[in-house]
Structure 1
Amino acid sequence: MSLPTIQNPFAPAQPTFEDEMCSMCPSMTYQQRLIGFCICCGCGYALSFMGTLMLLSKDPWKKRVTNFAILYVFGNFIAIAATGFLIGPRRQCKKMFSKTRRFACIFWLLMLVVTFALGLSGVDVGWVLLALFIQVCAGIWYSASYIPYGRRMIIKLFQGTCFAPCPQACDPVIKHAT
């Protein structure tokens, strides 16, 4: 029978994957973080806005929608990365994938990728627009999770408008949203 091995508490611990990933992100001052956030967020929203302007170009409709979807989605990804400057990538990922918003975040990110892929693939414009609509709705649902009672407000809005004849249709969503 062997005795259990006792680790020396003063010996350096083995770095974890998380430690290795964080070492790739240099520590920054608050001013540097703010500048990085503003630049990243500004570039992201500028790309999204340029994508919207592409809809007004004289190109064929299919090319306009494809360019719009690509620039809009790419701008969204850059804008998401901007938050990492303010709160740090680790904390941002923890917040994005917390229990209350995990599935909404994954679905929203998945729809960003799907919209981008459809925009690149050159499929029918209707599919790109449908994916874009679903992606925007998923983004709103995900964003509402950061606002206290945000998802409940969206559900109440739908109960009072679209589902006014049958408001109990939203009851399963209400139970799941809390």
Structure 2
Amino acid sequence: MSDNASVRIPSGAKFRTEHGFAAIKDGMKQRDQSEERPEPGRKPQWLRAQIPGGGRFEAVKRNVNEHRLSTVCAESHCPNMGECWSNGTATIMLMGSVCTRACRFCAVDTGNPRGWLDVEEPANTAKSVELMGLRYVVLTSVDRDDLADGGAAHYAACIRAIKENTPEVVVEALTPD
């Protein structure tokens, strides 16, 4: 889970993760500030998302934070996070919050975790799925080119832990290439 909430790191800036490796915030390098950019216009009403909040939202947020999980919702700055979390759903992002690639369309932090994996993530993911009372969970992950198997064994361990803990839960696995 990205712990950048305590210190605001500007998008595109290099920083050290809590595990000691370097990453680029939001996965993109800083733009030249001298570039003239047009002022954004007002968004249409149908496109505006409500400010996240409410009991169910707070419960999902607390659960994700306590179990030190990353979610696509938070890491990619999804505008629908409030809606999903308020309905008790979240897409869990395995293998940390730092990707080894720097896709221009993605807002996930980019860096080289040098093989670091949270060994407690399978158990924490399973417990989190149980606490959220899910019948269906979507798992995805960052790309981990720093791992020999791309993280496949860790991904499988997370799925096994969920199925051992809550066998009735359907797991959708959105695996990286």
TM-score normalised over the length of structure 2: 0.25
Higher strand share goes to which structure? 2
> Which one scores higher on RCO, CA 8 angstroms, separation ≥ 6?
2
TM-score of the pair, normalised by structure 1: 0.25
Which is greater in Rg?
1
